Amino acid sequence: MIVVMAPTANQEQLNHVVALVEEMGLKSHIIVGTNRTVVAAVGDKRGVDKGALENLPGVEKIVPILSPYKVASTEVKQEKTIVRLLPYGPALGGKKLGVIAGPCSVEDRNQLLDLAGQLKEAGAVGLRGGAFKPRTSPYSFQGLAEKGLEYLAEAREQTGLAVVTEVLTVTQVDLVAKYADVLQVGARNMQNFMLLKAIGEQPKPVLLKRGMSATMEEFLLAAEYIINAGNSNVILCERGIRTFEEYCRNTLALSLIPAIKHVSHLPIIVDPTHGTGHAYLVEPMSMAAIAAGADGLIIEVHPDPEHALTDAAQQIDVGTFKQLMARAGRVAAAIDRAI
Ligand code: PEP
Ligand code: MN
């Protein structure tokens, strides 16, 4: 339920509401809007008497939250959530779009540092790269682990790009958070609820990728786990879903972008790389994603895609990325946004 505070309510009255909500065994999320403050009270409501809250001083009304996801929904918060990738750094969710780029996997120090410089120059705000890779085959390259994280952190020091990298397990959360700026939950882990909770208990922003067979509701409920655990800096990422289509690696569901924006305040970006599986489809689908209202893109770029250790078919080279960025700026301008 949402406890809507009166416009005249003071801090003491707000504290009182929060204390009673928590005494009832519910979690409270205070959302300060432009017009008024609300307290979202979520949790198991069996035995909770909302009448007790209704009569508190400073409370205007109690409104039930109808959607299955609560704190991720526009019922609780109408203003868009803006997530900063770095403290005082670039943000996603506002008028300006952000592009995160980099190799599928971190492979080599010099290669990564050199690439990061070129991506920054081309206008990227974040550097992606897997140090821990979720591979279908146990015989495939699994990533450089902590060494890879060190190279990513070094690339951030040199370029100012925010580092976005994947966490595979609960036991890796602290290690990855030590080096990364944004923690990525991969498609295969979208419903790893223990991981979602653990990642929600640390403060760095989270990039949550849509599971390959997840519905929109399941996707938002996964975000709800993270927010509920204490971290509201969640960026959603549409990366394609499995359908009967075989030519494209996944089917990029761009209708999800406006649909999510209709029901949630969270920023959503698009991964046209895993969403298509073919390098030549990355640019057209990037343009389509921007036109559909995406708050940003995450794109695999490799200096030498032919020799990439992972996902060679879908990584674009730096020249293609530069051209993509120039076009992306024009598409964004056409819908009154910028890159
Ligand atoms: C990735 O971004 O490196 C990745 C493995 O993507 P996904 O989890 O979407 O498959
Ligand atoms: Mn990849």
Q: Distance, CA 294 to ligand 1 centroid (Å)?
A: 18
Residue 103: its pLDDT value, please? Answer: 98
Radius of gyration of the chain (CA): 21
CA dist., res. 79 & res. 96, Å (int): 16
Residue 45: its pLDDT value, please? Answer: 82
Ligand 1 contacts CB of residue 209 (under 6 A): yes
Q: Distance, CA 319 to ligand 2 centroid (Å)?
A: 19
CATH code of the domain made up of 83-334 = 3.20.20.70
Q: Whose C-alpha lies nearest to ligand 1, atom 4?
A: 186
Q: Which ligand 1 atom minimizes the distance to the CA of 239?
A: 9
Residue 33: its pLDDT value, please? Answer: 84
- Assign residue 18 a region (left: φ > 0; alpha: ψ between -120 and 50; beta: otherwise): alpha
Residue 44: its pLDDT value, please? Answer: 86
β-strand partners of 184? 166, 207
CATH code of the domain made up of 2-63 = 3.30.70.1140
Cα 215 from chain centre: 16
- pLDDT (tens digit, 0 to 9) for every residue of the chain, 339 residues total? 999 999 999 999 999 999 999 999 999 999 998 888 999 999 988 878 888 999 999 999 999 999 999 999 999 999 999 999 999 999 999 999 999 999 999 999 999 999 999 999 999 999 999 999 999 999 999 999 999 999 999 999 999 999 999 999 999 999 999 999 999 999 999 999 999 999 999 999 999 999 999 999 999 999 999 999 999 999 999 999 999 999 999 999 999 999 999 999 999 999 999 999 999 999 999 999 999 999 999 999 999 999 999 999 999 999 999 999 999 999 999 999 999
CA dist., res. 42 & res. 56, Å (int): 18
Q: Which ligand 1 atom minimizes the distance to the CA of 105?
A: 3
Q: Distance, CA 311 to ligand 2 centroid (Å)?
A: 5
Going from N- to C-terminal start, the domains of the chain cover 2-63, 83-334
Q: Which ligand 1 atom minimizes the distance to the CA of 210?
A: 9
Please, which residues have CB within 8 angstroms of residue 319's CB and are 6 or more apart in sequence? none
**Contact of 38 with 58, CB cutoff 8 Å:** no
Residue 48: its pLDDT value, please? Answer: 85
Residue 139: its pLDDT value, please? Answer: 95
Q: Which ligand 1 atom minimizes the distance to the CA of 237?
A: 9
Residue 97: its pLDDT value, please? Answer: 98
Q: Whose C-alpha lies nearest to ligand 1, atom 9?
A: 187
Q: Distance, CA 148 to ligand 1 centroid (Å)?
A: 16
CA dist., res. 183 & res. 202, Å (int): 10
- Amino acid type, 120: K
Q: Whose C-alpha lies nearest to ligand 1, atom 8?
A: 186
Q: Distance, CA 187 to ligand 1 centroid (Å)?
A: 6
Please, which residues have CB within 8 angstroms of residue 31's CB and are 6 or more apart in sequence? 37, 38, 39, 40, 76, 77
Residue 327: its pLDDT value, please? Answer: 98
Residue 34: its pLDDT value, please? Answer: 81
Please, which residues have CB within 8 angstroms of residue 19's CB and are 6 or more apart in sequence? none
